[in-house]
Amino acid sequence: MSFQGVWLTDVLAATGIDDAAAGVHLTALDNYQVDIPITDVRAGGVLLATRTGDGGAIPIAEGGPIRIVFADGVASGANANQWIWSVTTIDVR
């Protein structure tokens, strides 16, 4: 599968997050929640996927409208439970 979106590091940089932040807390439509350590986020490779590889919106039935996709080598991505989809909120903590 392929996706398009924006890197989480770029979103956080645009918001001017506090250097003391420890992680990012994400919540899904079904209230599923995960925490991604800020070290993994800052290292790069965490994509907020908003589109399929062909540019179409990701339907909710397929984990949209926003889902987390990890690039190879991102430590958090090795844990299948971290692959959250249907993201509704992103909190920096």
Per-residue confidence band for 1, with pLDDT thresholds at 50, 70 and 90: confident
Q: State the average pLDDT over residues 83-89.
A: 97
H or E element that contains 9: helix 8-15
Tally DSSP H helices, then E strands, for the chain. Answer: 2, 6
Q: What is the pLDDT of residue 19?
A: 86
H or E element that contains 33: strand 33-37
In the predicted structure, residue 25 carries a pLDDT above the cut 90: yes
**Residue (of 90, 88, 91) closest to 29 by Cα position:** 88
Q: What is the pLDDT of residues 29-78, one digit of tens each?
A: 999 999 999 999 999 999 999 999 999 999 999 999 999 999 999 999 99
H or E element that contains 6: strand 3-7
CA angle, 32 then 29 then 35, to 5°: 35
d(CA 30, CA 8): 21
